[in-house]
Chains A and B, each alone.
Chain A
């Protein structure tokens, strides 16, 4: 696609429910990143993929968070048993992933609100 696409743009859920956030990277980009941004804060790194594998899962805040990527393209971030502190904007980015210096292209994010 022309850019990184994220869906939904907004998600309101109740505490304890599971949510799935989707990211569709730029075509041909093999690296994909998930970040979380709380109101007025910087970007918190969550996880990145190179192809379908995730070499670095260290940023996931708890075992309620998981992510997968299939076909080297679309990625899904799943949050189980959501808590109010999970409320934030979840941003996805992709890059060529050819090694060397990476330039990230971001989507517009998913605003998650947990009531």
Chain B
């Protein structure tokens, strides 16, 4: 089971790009990397998922280096509404659906 390490918290300002890095040194060959976002009083929601290189969707980009031992979630031009906790998950099958402590992002005006 790949263990993940993320910063506990990050601060940013509106309009800035935010990059949150997750370390997963013992990622397995078949593991995927998935990021979730959680707002207060809500369950987490899926943001983005990838296996290697770069993935982009309407919400974020995910950068994964060749060795796949880390990944970076990039949020372009954040707004106050992006204040949330962001979780990185690494795994493939049902047994891998364990969340770490996440990164608490605070966006300031």
Contact = CB atoms under 8 A, between A and B. Distances in A.
A115 interface: no
Nearest to A45: B98
B93 interface: yes
Contact of A109 (B34, B43, B102): B43
Interface residues of B, number: 22
A101 B43 contact: no
Contacts of A105: 45-46
A93 interface: yes
A1 B92 CA distance: 26
B87 A43 contact: yes
Contact of A31 (B46, B49, B94): B94
B13 to A, nearest CB: 23
B43 A107 contact: yes
Nearest to A32: B94
Interface residues of A, number: 27
A42 B102 contact: yes
A50 B94 CA distance: 8
Contacts of B36: 104
- Listed residue (B93, B97, B98, B100) with the most chain A CB atoms within 10 angstroms of its CB: B97
Interface of B: 32, 34, 36, 41-46, 49, 85, 87, 92-95, 97-102
Given A45-B98, A50-B94, 11 more contacts: A42-B99, A45-B97, A48-B95, A48-B97, A93-B44, A93-B97, A102-B92, A105-B45, A105-B46, A106-B43, A109-B43
